[in-house]
Amino acid sequence: MSGMSAGRSAMRMGPAELVQAAAMARRFYLEGKSKIQIAEEFGVSRFKVARVLETALERDLVRIEIRVPAELDADRSDALRARYGLRHAVVVESPAEADESPDPENLGEVAADLLGELVTEGDVLGLAWGRSTIHMAAALDRLPPCTVVQLTGVYDAGTAERGSVEAVRRAAQVSGGDAHPIYAPMLLPDAATADALRHQTGIARAFEYFDKVTVACVSIGSWEAGISTVHDMLSEEERSHYASLGVAAEMSAHLFDAEGRSVGHDLGERCITVKADQLRRVPEVVAIAGGQRKAAAIDAVLRSGLVTSLVTDTSAADHLLMAGPAPKPALDRRDPDGL
């Protein structure tokens, strides 16, 4: 608290008024007392207490600062949430090498904390393949009891222990709930092989949970080498074909153009993955993606309306906040009250 700043008001407060205002402000802001309690203590009405507190703010007797941890950018977070009609947007400081390294590990750490807030007992948590979701799962230290299901096959079945299968196991271990991993590649040579795998007992059991998922965690990839696992799994001819359709982004093997429209639907027939319509029905879909190289892809996926919450970094956020006209939010998708 500080003395009254010059120029804020033409009227001066006497020393008794200053002392009383400071005392009331201390009771209210620091000690957490109610206005009624303060009124009783000082022998005045609660309406006078309200006026004194208002005056204390106007005259700089009280200065309120809102602080969040240094790695979180509250202003960018709120601006992104409003721009895209998201339920939650969390922006973290980009590390120095962010432009070269999309999805820095600190995104996963913050996303792990966010899931700790969002997941409630009895939820079904779905995890899609992605470096960021793997980082998130490794950082998890709290989750209420919930079922955890894998939403996509793995990038490379030979690395399943270090990838999405292990992420599902880790999340289930932290929560104490059941795990339903998928031991299959994400991309298959043809639709018939993919369909056959979907009917295998273990995989079919995981697929049965897709319509029950209440919170999903996904990654986003740009349509370029090293920034999208699906892009990297395809042949050069296939990459060119989908690029000709205007693909700008990929999420869980679903492709989107710059306006967020779904394209290249035939690819999904060859993939072990949750359907886009199923994701759209999930109450909370959290995307984890950052870095300037992914910014345009993040914008495209957000415009699709499939994502309700985002964890990103300042490098991507600065691009997103200037990326063309803001899309129309679809609040009714998230909960009945549109909140």
Per-residue model confidence as pLDDT tens digits over 256-274: 999 999 998 888 899 999 9
Q: What is the CA 85 to chain-centroid distance, rounded?
A: 12
**DSSP letters of 104-134?**
-HHHHHHHHHHHHHH--TT-EEEE---HHHH
Helix (H) or strand (E) holding 52: helix 46-58
Question: Lowest-confidence range among 106-120, 161-175, 191-205?
Answer: 161-175
Calpha distance 223→255 (Å, rounded) = 9
The HSE-up count of residue 150 (CA atoms within 13 Å, CB side) is 29
Region 149-160: mean pLDDT is 72
Give residue-wise pLDDT tens across range 10-56.
456 766 778 888 889 989 988 899 999 999 988 899 999 999 999 88
Instruction: Write out the E strands in the chain.
Output: 88-92, 124-127, 147-150, 179-180, 215-219, 221-222, 249-251, 254-256, 262-263, 284-288, 309-313
Q: Could you report the per-residue pLDDT of 195-230, keeping only the tens digit for each?
A: 999 999 989 999 999 999 999 999 998 888 777 778
pLDDT at 7 > cutoff 70: no
| Mean pLDDT, residues 262-287 taken together | 93
